[in-house]
Amino acid sequence: MAALMEARGLHRHFGGLRAVDGVDFRLEQGEIHALIGPNGAGKTTFVSLLSGRLPVQSGSITLAGEDITRLPAHARVKKGVAYTFQITSVYPRLSVFDNVALAAQSAGARDLAPAVAAALARVNLTGLDREMAGNLSYGHQRLLEVAMGLALQPRVLILDEPTQGLAAGEIEGFKALVRSLVPQTTVLLIEHNMDVVMDLATRITVLNFGQVLATGTPAEIRANPAVQEAYLGGHDD
């Protein structure tokens, strides 16, 4: 399989804190790749380097073979790398429609109304387009954030803890949604909910203290003693 996105030797330190410390990473075309690790492991920092929100200190990033290490974030979005924020970052004072329309028009949609309706339908927010985004429940704001990512029609969709704050019923729908995205879209999923990870991921990368602890299939990760030690807490269920 060809790597759609590849990172080599990525570093990002904050003062003495090594948030990302020499990470090599391959994202294969069409996979659902989960990124897990304890709080503060550097997951958000790592994907911020991929998306361009943060500049890398050393290392390189390629997208479909092209070096994008120095490309500003907005240019990476145009090339198909979309990031949905861990801390919900919709425009609270704009309507749901406008929130999604911004993403759709960025992706070059001519006719915004159907593009917005389609994205909202995929996350089950149909009918809420006239609401102020800030008036939505937290869970709905998470889904709106995802809808904005979808409306960008990305090649790589980076989801940073998308199920946080979703009700159990919503999580099932969300899993079906992510499955329906591949293989056209490649998904990089940061997730604390292990059921979701084990259910969805084709491959998993475990980060710990800014470094890659292990990469493999869900079964391999489950069986990996180092991962159990550091993260899964020794009990495999």
Partner 1 sequence: MKGETGKIWTLHLAVIAALFAAQFLLPQYHATNLARIMVLAVYAMGYNIAFGYTGLLSLGHALFFAAGMYAMGLPIWQLEWLPVPALILGLVAGGVMAGAVGLLALRTAGVSFMIVTLMFAQAGYLTLLYLNTWTGGDEGFVVERAYRMIGGVDLAADTPRYLAALGLFSAGMLGCLWLVRSPFGRVMVAMRENEERSRMLGFNPFRVKLIALVISGLYAGVAGAAYGLLFGYVGATFATIQYSILPMLYVLMGGAGTVLGPFLGALAMFYLIDIASGFTDAWLFVVGAALVALILFAPKGILGTLRERGLKWLP
Ligand X SMILES: Nc1ncnc2c1ncn2[C@@H]1O[C@H](COP(=O)(O)OP(=O)(O)OP(=O)(O)O)[C@@H](O)[C@H]1O
Could you list the residues that contact Mg ion (CB under 5 A)?
A: 43-44, 86
CB 40, min distance to ligand X, A: 4
Q: How far apart are the first and last CA of the chain?
A: 31
Report 13-32 residues binding ligand X (CB under 6 A): 14, 17, 19
106 contributes a contact to partner 1 by CB under 8 A: yes
Q: Count of residues binding ligand X (CB under 6 A)?
A: 12
Q: Which of 27, 32, 44, 81 binds ligand X (CB under 6 A)?
A: 44
107 binds, among partner 1, ligand X, Mg ion, none (CB under 5 to 8 A by kind): partner 1
Q: How far is residue 62's CA from residue 26's CA, in Å, rounded to a whole number?
A: 10
| 206 contact partners, CB below 8 Å, separation of at least 6 | 36, 37, 212, 213, 214, 215, 221, 224, 227, 230, 231
Closest CA to 3 of 27, 35, 24: 27
* Nearest one of 6, 4, 47, 23 to 156, comparing CA atoms: 4
Interaction of residue 150 with partner 1, rule CB under 8 A = no
Answer yes or no whether residue 148 interacts with partner 1 by CB under 8 A.
yes
Q: Is position 175 an interface residue for partner 1 (rule: CB under 8 A)?
A: no
Comparison of 91 and 209: residue with beta carbon closer to partner 1: 91
How far apart are the C-alpha atoms of 57 and 108, rounded to whole Å? 32
Nearest CA-CA partner of 4 in 77, 66, 48: 66
Query: Is beta strand 32-36 parallel, antiparallel or unpaired with respect to 203-208?
Result: parallel
Sorted by sequence, the CB contacts under 8 Å of residue 85 that are 6+ apart come out as: 145, 160
Amino acid at 180: S
CA distance 96 to 100: 6
168 binds ligand X (CB under 6 A): no
112 lines the binding site for partner 1 (CB under 8 A):
yes
Give the nearest distance from C-beta 43 to Mg ion in angstroms.
Answer: 5
Task: Candidates 39-47, 110-118, 212-220, 222-230: pick the segment binding ligand X (CB under 6 A).
Answer: 39-47
In the complex, the smallest distance separating the C-beta of residue 139 from ligand X, rounded to whole angstroms, is 18
Which of 23, 37, 142, 221 lies at the binding interface for ligand X (CB under 6 A)? 37
Task: Say which entry of Mg ion, partner 1, ligand X, none residue 125 contacts (CB below 5 to 8 A, set by partner kind).
Answer: none
Integer Cα distance of 132 and 142 in angstroms: 14
Residues contributing to the site for ligand X (CB under 6 A): 14, 17, 19, 37, 39-45, 86
Residues contributing to the site for partner 1 (CB under 8 A): 51, 53, 72-75, 77-78, 82-83, 85, 89-91, 93-94, 98, 101-103, 105-107, 112, 148, 152
